[in-house]
């Protein structure tokens, strides 16, 4: 088919030649942020794709004590757990070193409480849970739903009274 004689191709070419789109491959104005951009709230995979795009493919293990001589692949690993968009927060590791780094048992919860002795509770799934944080969440939930609970109990008591009569 010859090019340029159909309306849709003329419209597409006209749109492509718009001054603010020249040289822009993604079709957005410079400085424009799309509505679905999540920034630091992006998911795990998106953040790893961002790291791969900006820092390149991981090509070696940066662990000095690595005993693995020639792995088939390398990974980008996050150091802080906050997934910051800074090079200092990421390290290239072989799969063996990456597993050793990620699968250490946590000794401090995300709110800074130590997970030892009386503060440690292991739930039925085998997860380590901070008792202080659990108590705080339970209290917040009770305060939030307190009136609902009181209303439900009062309705139940009223129902019990009508049944007895």
pLDDT by residue for the chain (165 residues), tens only, comes to 556 555 555 455 555 555 555 555 555 666 677 778 888 888 989 888 889 988 999 999 999 998 887 889 999 999 888 888 899 999 999 999 998 888 777 788 888 889 888 999 988 988 889 999 999 999 999 899 999 989 999 999 999 988 876
Q: Is residue 50 part of a domain?
A: no
Does the residue 164 lie in any domain? Answer: yes
Can you give the residue range of the structural domain that contains 132?
106-165
Q: How far apart are CA 92 and CA 78, in angstroms?
A: 9
In a domain, 149, yes or no: yes
Q: Number of structural domains, the chain?
A: 1
Q: What predicted TM-score, i.e. pTM, was given to this entire model?
A: 0.48
Give a yes or no: residue 163 inside a domain: yes
């Amino acid at each position: 088919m010859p090019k340029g004689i159909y309306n849709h191709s003329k419209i597409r070419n006209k749109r492509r030649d718009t001054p603010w789109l020249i040289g822009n491959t993604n079709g957005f104005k410079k400085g424009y942020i799309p509505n679905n951009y999540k920034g630091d709230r992006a998911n795990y995979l998106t953040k790893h794709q961002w790291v791969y795009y900006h820092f390149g493919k991981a090509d070696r293990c940066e662990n000095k004590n690595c005993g693995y001589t020639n792995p088939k692949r390398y990974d980008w690993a996050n150091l802080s757990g906050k997934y910051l968009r800074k090079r200092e927060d990421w390290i290239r590791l072989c799969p063996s070193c990456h597993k050793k780094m990620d699968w250490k048992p946590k000794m401090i919860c995300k709110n800074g409480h130590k997970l030892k002795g009386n503060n440690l509770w292991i739930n039925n799934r085998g997860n380590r849970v901070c008792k202080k944080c659990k108590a705080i969440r339970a209290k917040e939930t009770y305060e939030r739903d307190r009136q609902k609970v009181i209303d439900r109990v009062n309705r139940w008591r009223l129902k019990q009274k009508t049944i007895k009569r």
